């Protein structure tokens, strides 16, 4: 079974896998390394782990492109579909992000770390702000830098949704292509336009194209899908990591190709998922895990019992992952899901009144 309540379970599992890889990479190399030199991993293993974490971001964008084509069927060609789509995506993305950011700011206040007010406002509004490396927009909740690209994609996709599926896909793909081309032509465009013109956004049209191909009856042979999955590891080993701007065309090669290989292997045909409810729940909680693992890490850094450091970095890492998983699951079940449902109901009522 690859469907549960209208959701593609294989894609749900990919969402969870990407979130778990990102969380593990951040927790291992930004928090657990201070008690064990990067978990005691040798340089080659550490480099491979970081490569996997970086490739999880393209996997997110591929998944988003795919999901929008599949999940937006009820809105294609519907009057008012554009407004409904934008409101639903804003409700899905922004309130959990704001809550997670607020939690992190509260932890920083408890720890006595200063938070710049302007940076906080820009972060909450998803207005790109750049760190010292100048490569990625860095909100206070820094994993949230990807949300700028998600919202940009939703903006473009929604522009054509009331006209139908192909206008929505064409508007999004054409808009992204035009922005990337503009980025090649303009020097020093400013933070917002610079972020909007990064080639990393081209992953969304690739995800959409795969969804259209699958919905049109496309399917890869099982042997080829296995070969694609097996090719992920050598691709990460052989593709050299680029320096400089992390979101350029070189990034699409060394981080995007492994993600694309895995994505095509999973969605390229039917995939039997033995526990559909569990798979759906894991996919559902993936966004919470993506947002909350950083606040959990800072909380744990402040309150982790000193005597437990003697158990080593791997115990520290396991406790971090366990805490992030538990908090994310609880947040998804008791905060994010009911809050999203309640806001959508309110917006539906308000829409009918107007």
What's the chain's length in residues? 354
pLDDT band at 267 (very low <50, low <70, confident <90, very high): very high
Model confidence, pTM: 0.94
Report the distance separating Cα 37 and Cα 5, nearest Å.
44
Residue 8, exposed/middle/buried by CB under 10 A (0-12, 13-18, 19+)?
Answer: buried
Calculated CA dihedral for residues 278, 227, 56, 241, nearest 10 degrees: 160
Rounded mean pLDDT, 278-291: 96
Residue 335, exposed/middle/buried by CB under 10 A (0-12, 13-18, 19+)?
Answer: middle
Give residue-wise pLDDT tens across range 73-92: 999 999 999 999 999 999 99
Q: How crowded is the C-beta side of 43, counted as CA atoms within 13 Å? A: 0
Buried b / exposed e along 210-223 (16+ C-beta atoms within 10 A): bbbebeeeeebeee
pLDDT for residue 170: 98
Tokens of 199: 């080639």
pLDDT for residue 353: 63
Q: How crowded is the C-beta side of 116, counted as CA atoms within 13 Å? A: 9
Mean pLDDT check: name the lowest of 9-13, 241-245, 294-298: 241-245
**Is the predicted pLDDT of residue 204 greater than 90, yes or no?**
yes
Residue 4, helix vs strand vs coil:
strand
pLDDT band at 220 (very low <50, low <70, confident <90, very high): very high
Identify the DSSP state of 336. I
Tokens of 121: 């406002």
pLDDT for residue 307: 73
Rounded mean pLDDT, 111-118: 93
Rounded mean pLDDT, 232-237: 90
pLDDT for residue 41: 59
Task: Name the H helices within the chain.
Answer: 9-30, 43-71, 81-111, 117-124, 145-159, 165-185, 191-196, 203-215, 222-230, 232-238, 249-251, 257-267, 276-303, 313-331, 337-353
Task: For residue 322, give every residue at least 6 positions away whose Cβ sits within 8 Å of its Cβ, in sequence order, or none.
Answer: none
Give residue-wise pLDDT tens across range 307-351: 777 787 788 889 999 999 999 999 999 999 999 999 999 987 766
pLDDT for residue 118: 93
Helix axes 313-331, 276-303, angle to 10 degrees: 120
Give the number of other CB atoms < 10 A from CB of residue 342: 11
Give residue-wise pLDDT tens across range 139-178: 999 999 999 999 999 999 999 999 999 999 999 999 999 9
**Is the predicted pLDDT of residue 2 greater than 80, yes or no?**
no
pLDDT for residue 1: 45
pLDDT band at 53 (very low <50, low <70, confident <90, very high): confident
pLDDT band at 208 (very low <50, low <70, confident <90, very high): very high
Rounded mean pLDDT, 209-219: 96
pLDDT for residue 64: 97
């Amino acid at each position: 079974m690859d469907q549960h309540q209208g959701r593609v379970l294989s894609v749900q599992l990919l969402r969870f896998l990407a979130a778990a890889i990102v969380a593990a990479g951040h927790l291992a190399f930004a928090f657990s390394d201070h008690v064990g030199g990067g978990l005691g991993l040798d340089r080659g293993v550490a480099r491979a782990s970081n490569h996997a974490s970086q490739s999880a971001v393209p996997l997110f964008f591929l998944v988003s492109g795919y999901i929008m084509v599949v999940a937006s069927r009820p809105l294609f060609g519907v009057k008012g579909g554009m407004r409904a789509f934008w409101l639903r995506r804003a409700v899905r993305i922004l309130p959990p992000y704001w809550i997670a950011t607020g939690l992190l700011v509260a932890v920083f206040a408890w720890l006595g770390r200063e938070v710049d007010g302007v940076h906080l406002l820009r972060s909450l509004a998803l207005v790109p702000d750049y760190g010292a490396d100048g490569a990625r927009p860095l909100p206070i909740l820094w994993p949230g830098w990807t949300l700028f690209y998600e919202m940009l994609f939703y903006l473009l996709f929604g522009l054509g949704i009331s006209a139908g599926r192909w206008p929505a896909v064409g508007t999004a793909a054409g808009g992204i292509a035009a922005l990337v081309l503009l980025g090649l032509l303009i020097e020093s465009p400013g933070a917002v336009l610079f972020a909007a013109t990064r080639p990393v956004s081209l992953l969304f049209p690739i995800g959409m194209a795969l969804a259209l191909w699958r919905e049109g009856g496309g399917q890869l042979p099982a042997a080829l899908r296995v070969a694609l999955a097996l090719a992920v590891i050598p691709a990460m080993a052989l593709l050299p990591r680029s320096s400089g701007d992390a979101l350029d065309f070189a990034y699409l090669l060394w981080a995007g190709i492994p993600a694309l290989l895995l994505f095509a292997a999973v969605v390229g045909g039917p995939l039997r998922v033995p526990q559909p409810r569990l798979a759906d729940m894991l996919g559902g909680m993936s966004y919470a895990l993506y947002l909350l693992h950083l606040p959990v890490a800072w909380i744990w850094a402040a309150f982790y019992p000193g005597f437990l450091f003697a158990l080593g970095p791997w115990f520290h890492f396991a406790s971090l992952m366990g805490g992030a998983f538990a908090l994310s699951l609880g947040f998804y079940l008791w905060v994010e899901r009911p809050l999203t449902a309640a806001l959508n109901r309110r917006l539906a009522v308000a829409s009918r009144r107007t």
